[in-house]
Homo-oligomer: A and B are copies of this chain.
Amino acid sequence: MRITRIRDAVAPIPSPMRNAVISFDKMTISVLAIETDVVRNGKPVIGLGFCSNGRYAQSGVIRERLAPRILEADPKTLTTADGDNFDPFAIWRAMMSNEKPGGHGERAFAAGGIDMAIWDIVAKIEGKPLWRLLSERFNGGKYDERVLVYSGGGYYYPGKEREGLQDEMRKARDLGYRLLKMKIGGASLADDLKRIEWVIEIAGGGANVAVDANGNLGLDAALAYARAMEPYGLSWFEEPVDPLDYRAHAVICDASDVPIATGENLFSVQDFRNLLRHGGMRPHRDWIQPDPSLCYGLTETLRILDDADRMGWSRRRCVPHGGHQLGLNMAAGLQLGGSESYPGVFQPYGGFADSIPIIEGYTTLHDSPGIGMELRSKMMDGLTKRLELPLSRV
């Protein structure tokens, strides 16, 4: 069996909002289709993947380095010993050959998109949904039948702050979400506290609200926010400061009992190890949020989870970033703490299967082979068009 072709394309995902740091009006992602000569149900197995939002498309790294290394490798070195399936770990090593240590940026995003498509292939060849394959391989067969999902959003609405924010939150609740996340750090502390109270009104309590500063606060401001927010009993305070400022995280964790969440801007096992070693994060209180489509893929995220486990962190403290089905499959099959979701933005990429609703803050999983991207019709329209995929083959 062999990988016969790796297609990639740039897909624009412009969104009108901005967070405390960047605007998303020129945001793009890379979408990928990896073709094989393995036939299932009369069609060649094709894996689908993408690098999720916030970090732009990565065609250069994919086309110039990672994809050629996979296509040029001896196909026998990319399969399991019995030759029954591809080996994602071997493929990962092949695409990362001749890469120096450190510098975990665009290369990690490109690898994340490829690795997503590879795991999609592996699950399709086994004829199982990815969450079930992950459960069997890495979780002793245990899995969650429903997964906590929360809504990422809660933007600023200049000129109609309260109305805009509360309307957005009501819509998320109407879609079934119960835990609602909102942006902070783009206004004064006093104004942000008012906004938090408006959202608590809609969410029905501080435990149903998380706040996200997108790494934009200095340490002094982050401490002031943490202390001022303590009475609300929020679910978490996400990215209070620069994601690589481990000492600042440690100071905040020392000064306040507000749960801290971070990880969407750390992209390697080394960076997560540093966060857990030096960041003062508390395994019984805080949250880690790797994005498997950005941090060198599910393959590297498994290493991150293993490493965190050795440092006393339950998988339940991991809630993947990105709002995509890869994170959802991992959450179910590996029994993580939940998965992010973005109702209404970063479309048509991201989001979960069309036919499966969110009920009281939880969602359920699909039964078809692979990640389940075929169950999301608008995303499939986008993928097949961007990648010029013959519709008959997917």
Q: A: which residues have CB within 8 A of B?
A: 10, 21-24, 26, 28, 54-61, 64-65, 97-109, 214-216, 242-247, 265-268, 270-271, 273-274, 277-278
Closest to A295 in B: B103
* A-B contacts besides A59-B60, A100-B215, 15 pairs, CB < 8 Å: A21-B100, A22-B98, A56-B65, A57-B64, A101-B242, A101-B243, A102-B265, A103-B109, A104-B105, A105-B106, A244-B274, A245-B273, A246-B274, A247-B277, A278-B278
Q: Are B270 and A102 in contact (CB under 8 A)?
A: no
Instruction: Give the CA-CA distance A382 to B244 in the complex, in Å.
Output: 38
Task: Name which of A64, A215, A268, A278 has the most chain B CB atoms within 10 A of its CB.
Answer: A64
Partner of A267, one of B64, B102, B245, B271: B102
Point out the residues of chain B lying under 8 angstroms from A246, CB to CB. Answer: 274, 277-278
For this chain, the copies found in one complex come to 2
Residues of B within 8 A of A277 (CB): 246-247, 278
**Is A242 within 8 A of B270, CB to CB?**
yes
Residues of B within 8 A of A278 (CB): 246-247, 274, 277-278
Query: Counting chain B CB atoms within 10 Å of each CB, which of A10, A28, A273 scores highest?
Result: A273
Partner of A64, one of B56, B108, B214, B268: B56
The 6 lowest CB-CB distance pairs between A and B, nearest first, are A105-B105, A60-B60, A102-B265, A106-B106, A244-B270, A103-B105
